Amino acid sequence: MAPLSAAFPAFARPNRSLRVASPEALHLSPPHLVGSELEMLRLSLESGWLAPAGPGLTAFEGALAEVMQIPHALATASGTAALHLAFRLLGVVPGDEVWAPTLTFVASVAPAVQMGARPRFLDVDPASWTLDPWLLRDELHAAARRGRLPRCVVSADLYGQPADIAAIGAACAEWGVPLLSDSACALGAEQHGLPAGHGARLVALSFNGNKIITAGGGGALLAEEPGLIAQARALATQAKEPAPHYQHETTGFNYAMSSLLAAVGQAQLPSLPARVVARRAIFERYREALGHLPGISFMPEPGWARSSRWLSVMLVDPRAFGADREQLRRALAEQGIESRPVWKPLHLQPAFRDAPAVGGAVAAGLFERGLCLPSGSAMGPAEQARVISLLRWLHRR
C-alpha cells in the first residue's frame, strides 16, 4: 500500500504547531500519547463500527462510569455538547436564570445563554479559586426572598482543582435547585475523597486535545439517575422515537461521540492515575523552584481537595517581583514557551456585559496576577528547567 503521505501530501509536511511535540516549542498542555492508541483505533476500524454506536463506545462509557463512580455515562462529541445536553435536561427555557462562578471557561454557560437563559456570575473562594459556597448560600436565600430562584447552578472545576460539591450541593439542596458540575478540566481530581463533580445531579467532562486524558476531542455526561442519561442519549441522537419511520416528539442534537474517538479515549483512560501523579509532580517542581521568590505564589489546594493540577498556575505580584504577569508571559513566548493568563472572569467579558455579578473582586485579582505555565504530563524535568530558569532570570534582572 502506498504511504498515506502519497495520497495526502499534507501528512508528509506536518504543521509544526499541530504536532504532538516539537523540540523547541513548549506548549501549555499538549496531547500525551500512551502508545496503544493506534492499536485501539485499528481494532475499532476492524470491528466495522464507524458510527456513534458500538461495543467500543459502550466499553468507554462503562470505563468512565467506573472512574467517576457514577453509574450512568454518555460519551458526547465535546464537553460543550455535554453541557448543552445538561441544560436541556434541566429544563432551561428563555428568561431562566443560570448561576455560575465568574472564573471559568465560557463553555460553562454559553449553551444556556444560547437557550435564552440569563447568567448570574458569582465570585470564587480565595481558598480554592472555585465557586464560593457561602456566597452561593447567601445569594440563594436572597433569590428565594425575591421569589426568583435559578433554574440551575453550574459549579466549575478550575485547572484541575475540584469545586466543593458537598458545600455547594448543600446550599442548592436547601432550595431544590439542581446542580450541574462542569468538571471538564478536572478528570482525576478528588473532593472529599470522591471524584471531582461527584454529588452533582449532572457532571460534564471533556476529552479535548489539551485535557489530562484526550480522545482527540469529545466529552461525557454522567448522572446517578438512569433516566437522565437515557434522555440525554435520545437527545444526543436526534430524539428519535421508537418507530420504523422517523418519529419525533421533540427535536434533539447530533451530539454522540464517534466510536473512533472512543477508541482513543479508551486507550488513554487507564493512564489517568499516572497522569495525575505526573502533573502534580510538575506543579511541585515549579513550587519548589519558584515559590520562595518574592512576589510569586501558587494555586492553593484546600484540605478537602486533591487537585489533578491539570495546569500549574502561579500568581505574580508585580511590585514584589519586579515584573507583571504580562511581562513574564511575553518573555516566555519569546523563548517559544507558551503560558496563558488565568481565565478572564465572565462578568468582565463584553459578551456578558448585561449579566449581574455577585462580587467578582477575587476572580478579577486572579486574572490580573495569574499565569498558567506549561504543564503537559510528557514534559520532562529538562524542559521544565527551561521555564524555571527563565523565570528566575527575569526575577534577578
Ligand X SMILES: *Cc1c(COP(=O)(O)O)cnc(C)c1O
Give me the residues that bind ligand X (CB under 6 A), please: 78-80, 104-105, 107-108, 156, 182, 184-185, 206, 208, 219
CB of 104 to ligand X, least distance (A): 5
How far is the C-alpha of 263 from the C-alpha of 267, rounded, in Å?
Answer: 6
Our CB check for ligand X shows the closer of 182 and 296 to be 182
Our CB check for ligand X shows the closer of 206 and 312 to be 206
Say if residue 88 is exposed, middle or buried (CB neighbours under 10 Å; 0-12, 13-18, 19+).
buried
CB of 293 to ligand X, least distance (A): 28
Say if residue 58 is exposed, middle or buried (CB neighbours under 10 Å; 0-12, 13-18, 19+).
middle
Our CB check for ligand X shows the closer of 108 and 259 to be 108
Within 10 angstroms of residue 258's Cβ, the number of other Cβ atoms is 23
CB of 78 to ligand X, least distance (A): 4
Torsion of CA 374, 380, 384, 389, to 10 degrees: -170
CB of 244 to ligand X, least distance (A): 35
CB of 313 to ligand X, least distance (A): 13
CB of 343 to ligand X, least distance (A): 8
Within 10 angstroms of residue 150's Cβ, the number of other Cβ atoms is 23
Q: Which residue bears the cell 455560575?
A: 100
Q: What b/e readout covers 346-382, taking b as 16+ CB neighbours within 10 angstroms?
A: bbbeeebeebebbbbebbbebbbbbbbbbbbbebeee
The set of residues, in sequence order, having a beta carbon less than 8 Å from that of 288 and lying 6+ positions away, is none
Our CB check for ligand X shows the closer of 107 and 171 to be 107
Our CB check for ligand X shows the closer of 161 and 231 to be 161
Q: Which residue's Cβ has the minimum distance to ligand X?
A: 79
Our CB check for ligand X shows the closer of 97 and 182 to be 182
Q: Measure CA 128 to chain center.
A: 16
CB of 2 to ligand X, least distance (A): 35
Say if residue 106 is exposed, middle or buried (CB neighbours under 10 Å; 0-12, 13-18, 19+).
middle
Our CB check for ligand X shows the closer of 83 and 229 to be 83
